[in-house]
Amino acid sequence: MFKDIIAHMKKFISLTEAEEELLISYLTVKEVKKKEQLLRAGEICQENYFIIKGLFRLYLITSKGAEQVIQFGIEGWWITEYHSYKSGMPSGFYLQAVENATVIAINRNTQEELFGKLPQLERYFRFVLEKAYAAQLMRIHYIFNLTGEEQYRMMVEKYPAFVQRIPQYMLASFLGITPEFLSMLRAKK
């Protein structure tokens, strides 16, 4: 279980065996059932999750009562609601497992202590955040510059297996189109 996260970290930083053990003592493994919420709007986001297995979505309920998917996360990605996680303010988002999943959690209350003991984690998370931030900028680019259909075609081309895993109504929400329109696009293919 921990070998996946350690392998991911070792792409960017070095860890001795003793350091690996120290790290593991700060981590919690969680099995998460499909549809289970790791965070609900109104709660303070307490953890940052490395996804070992499964698919997650970060979403919100709009003022019109609709679910709006902001972000998906799959194996090998970290997912949290950073605004609440950092500030300690209640979140406006939900974080839900779309499939049965396994995650490894770091807690916001012990993270700084852990980083104090293993400062190379600063470097690791700097890399993780640079990648995540760049991805969000590209997403804003796509929202403004591509139609829902164009975004769908691009996702199918770049991430075919990923697109297959996402329930149709969630993918439609992520793309800002109706499930009916997405269904038509899929049929056209």
Q: Which residues of the shown chain bind a second copy in the complex (CB under 8 A)?
A: 58, 60, 62-63, 68, 70-71, 81-83, 86-87, 92-93, 115, 119-120, 122-123, 125-126, 129-141, 143-146, 176
In the complex, minimum distance from the CB of residue 150 to a second copy, in angstroms, rounded to a whole number:
9
Distance CA 46, CA 44 (A): 6
Nearer of residues 136 and 168 to a second copy, judged by Cβ = 136
Nearer of residues 82 and 162 to a second copy, judged by Cβ = 82
Distance CA 182, CA 118 (A): 46
Which residues contact residue 101 at a Cβ distance below 8 angstroms, ignoring those fewer than 6 apart?
31, 32, 34, 51, 52, 53, 54, 55, 56
Nearer of residues 100 and 142 to a second copy, judged by Cβ = 142
Q: Report residue 105 CA to chain centroid gap.
A: 12
In the complex, minimum distance from the CB of residue 147 to a second copy, in angstroms, rounded to a whole number:
9
Please name the amino acid found at residue 139: R
Nearer of residues 15 and 146 to a second copy, judged by Cβ = 146
In the complex, minimum distance from the CB of residue 82 to a second copy, in angstroms, rounded to a whole number:
4
Q: Which two tokens stand for residue 126?
A: 């700097």
